[in-house]
Each structure stands twice: as structure tokens, then as C-alpha cells.
Amino acid sequence: MKPDGKLKLVSELLDLPLLDSEGKYCGIVDDVELVGGAGKDLELKALLVGPGAYAGRLPRWAMWVVEKVAGKRITRVPIDRIRSISGSVQLDRPGDELGLHRSEKAAGKWIPRRGAL
């Protein structure tokens, strides 16, 4: 499915895993950015990925815990970067280009690159 028709936000998009063009996991659809207003059609503008995107979905006390543990980072993935939506959201670029692998790269500096068969 391509995201240019009608979408059920909750059942068809929210909380789906994101896969980049190289087939690597690069987060979950934590929230969405919509434009429009009362009485108008709502249009999907971008996907929001990262702990900061929980703010609209968790109570304040839970968000306080999330920020202490994981920070407030949000990465915005524009709608035109989505290739298709099925059991996951497939992107048309590598995650690096969209700023989606920053935490993975930061963690990678701590992992020695030897010893594994």
C-alpha cells in the first residue's frame, strides 16, 4: 500500500516498524505529523520516530521517565520517503540519510569488532 490514499492511522500505520532501503530496522512509527484543521481533510506530512514522539501518547509522569532514560530526540521522516506500507513501513532511502541510525552508530563505538564467528 502507498500512502497517497486514505489510511487508518492507528491500525495501519502507528507502531509499525520502519525498514530502510537496505532492509535494516530503523525504529518504529512513534507518532505522525498531520496538517489540516477542523472541518478540513487531514493530510499526513511525516512520520515521527524517537522517544520525544511519545509525548502525545503517554501521560506526563510516564513521559518524564522516558525523557530521563532515553531523552527527547525526534527524527522526522517526510511522507515522500515512504515506498510502501504493509506489515512494516518500507523507506526509499538508507536510514543513515534520514538521520535514523544515529543512536545505533553511537552505540557501535562501544562494541569491539572482533571475536565473532
Q: Residues in the site for another protein, rule: CB under 8 A?
A: 10, 14-18, 24-28, 30, 49, 54, 57-58, 62, 87-88, 103-105, 107-108, 110-113, 115-117
DSSP letter at 79 equals G
Least distance in angstroms from the C-beta of 35 to another protein: 23
The answer to whether 46 and 74 are in contact (CB under 8 A) is no
Least distance in angstroms from the C-beta of 51 to another protein: 9
Task: Give counts: helices (H), strands (E), the chain.
Answer: 3, 7
Closer to another protein at the Cβ: 40 or 68?
68
